[in-house]
Chain A
Amino acid sequence: MKPPDWVRFVPASDQSLLVTVGEEIAPSVHERLRKLLYLLEKERLPAVGNLHPAYCSLLIRFNSLATTHEELEGDLAPLLARLEEVALPEPREIEIPLHYGGEFGPDMAELAEMHSMTPAQVAEMHSSAVYTAYFLGFTPGFAYLGGLPEALATPRLPVPRRSVPVGSVGIAGNQTGIYPSSTAGGWRLIGRTPVPLFRPAEQPMSLLAVGDRVRFRPICL
């Protein structure tokens, strides 16, 4: 079976295959990715291990003593061919309370100035958009949220912070995200949420999942 023409297979290592389902960050590409992830989580293929989803691609790790890149591509072709028919669960809508600016958003003033706006205007614009959780990556529970208004797109900090406080909300390029744990990070911080993003002892562990629709509601901490 021939896979659809929008699929590209690249061996990323001797034990992993990178399946690219489109060449741009776009809702249509994201839907394919969600459907492929959904199928693979539901119908486990033999020898397949960890799955690493991203914007336009899924990295599939596998046991190379049990299968090969070519065999895996063959196993994936029928799944890819029926992606159109997959009915995904309705995306969940998640509202996240967010304190904008001040001590909780150390980069807010500079970011606002870069866009010739006031911090209040940035907060207004950031909280009026509906975001999509494209994928979780980087660290446990970190969701890459797409749908940032073009006017707020800002490059990363030239030098990343050594430590970003838990719950910080940042902007990097045309994406926004929330730090579930305290890690190093180069996103520009505009605020902080008191809501825990990742709780390993609970089900589900992560507040956000791939495909969720996310809104921020301004609060005062």
Chain B
Amino acid sequence: MPLIHIEKPGLFTTVQDLGRPGGGPLGISASGAADPIALRLGNRLVGNPEGAAALEMTLLGGTFGFPDGAVIALAGSDFETEIPLWNPIRIPPGATLRVGPTRSGARCYLAVRGGIAVELFLGSASTHVLSGLGGHEGRALRKGDVLRIGDSTVGPVRQGGPPPSALAPRKVLRVTNGPQADWFPEASRTIFYNSGYRVTEEANRMGLRLGGAALTVRSGGHMITEGVPLGAIQVPAGGQPIILFVEQQTTGGYPKIANVIAADVASVGQLRPRDEVRFERVDLATARRLLQQQEDLIREAY
């Protein structure tokens, strides 16, 4: 099998696919790509199944050696590098790809024709770093790691180019009501939907702590722990919201004011510390329509 040598791992690079459902009853969240749209588009470009495993780079890319050559595509945020984003590129045997720091959002995917071959855990290649499961040894890549390129392709390499602008990451996240939305007094809900929140330094694949106007909860916010979905916006004592993300805890005991809609989860994956986000409420039917439109755009791109 052809190989990839990790010469420099970058800041935080992991193997990711579209995640693993089925671990919930054991307390294992789905994990998967932080920007699933970019992962899918990157895989489409190189003729892979959309959910093939790729490398997810965070804020700073790495240096990757391809002793046997490969066909690759970079997808997601614009990281400094010598090859164009959103284009399949043939890497000759023995060549090295250097990817530098980001010039836009948080994450960029290195998709490789054939996918990254790692042992699957509960049917998925996704790394779940918190629990040390999946991916390459359950952890972020290190210098000296060697990965294998797989053979999962579904078609030819496609014609590249920028994806439709409607698929670009958003800074205004659309949300639906959380299960405890009515625990927040009207004044708090007004604040939540009318002020900007800053992404703090505590932002990772587990969750993103936001900073901004504090929210209050009626009755002290004491509730019985319940299952929490991806994108839940929970408000602990202190009133600063947290967006639960792909490596989230499966259950939680804090009231949830809102939930990022499925169509905007990928945008959360591109948020960086100090970015400002705002929230816009939509109803469930709108959320579904937006997701359907997004699916159509992904299928039509490449």
A interface residues (Cβ-Cβ under 8 A, vs B): 10-16, 18, 20, 24-25, 37, 41, 49-59, 61, 64-65, 68-69, 135-142, 144, 181, 183, 198, 200, 205-206, 210
Contact = CB atoms under 8 A, between A and B. Distances in A.
B19 to A, nearest CB: 9
Q: Which of B21, B28, B177, B232 has the most CB of A within 10 A?
A: B28
Contacts of B251: 52, 54, 135, 137-138
B259 interface: yes
Main secondary structure of the interface of B (DSSP, over half): mixed
Contact of A13 (B133, B261, B292): B261
A57 B25 CA distance: 12
A13 B226 contact: no
Given A54-B226, A56-B224, A15 B28 contact: no
Nearest to A49: B21
B22 interface: yes
Given A14-B291, A65-B288, A52 B250 contact: yes
Contacts of B176: 11, 13-14
10 contacts: A13-B262, A14-B284, A50-B21, A50-B29, A52-B227, A57-B226, A65-B291, A136-B25, A138-B27, A200-B121
Contact of B232 (A12, A41, A198, A205): A12
Interface of B: 21-30, 121, 128, 130-133, 138, 176-179, 224-232, 249-251, 256, 259-262, 284, 287-288, 291-292, 295
Given A142-B27, A183-B130, A54 B227 contact: yes
A56 B21 CA distance: 21
Max chain B C-beta neighbours (<10 A), residue from A13, A68, A206: A13
Given A68-B288, A137-B27, A56 B262 contact: no
A181 B131 CA distance: 7
A28 to B, nearest CB: 15
Given A13-B260, A50-B29, A61-B21, 18 more contacts: A12-B179, A13-B232, A13-B261, A14-B284, A14-B287, A16-B229, A18-B227, A51-B24, A54-B224, A54-B225, A54-B227, A55-B226, A56-B226, A59-B227, A61-B229, A139-B27, A140-B131, A206-B26
B138 to A, nearest CB: 8
B258 to A, nearest CB: 9
Contact of B132 (A57, A68, A181): A181
A35 B151 CA distance: 42
Nearest to B225: A54
A163 to B, nearest CB: 12
Contacts of B24: 50-53, 59, 61
Contacts of A14: 176, 259, 261-262, 284, 287-288, 291
Contact of B229 (A13, A56, A65, A142): A13
B140 to A, nearest CB: 16
Contacts of A137: 27, 225, 227, 249-251
Given A12-B232, A51-B24, A57 B259 contact: no
A105 B262 CA distance: 42
Contacts of A58: 227
B224 A55 contact: yes
Given A14-B261, A206-B26, A138 B226 contact: no
A135 B250 CA distance: 11
Contacts of A54: 224-227, 251
A57 B229 contact: no
A12 B261 CA distance: 11
Nearest to A51: B24
Given A14-B176, A18-B179, A41-B25, A140 B133 contact: yes
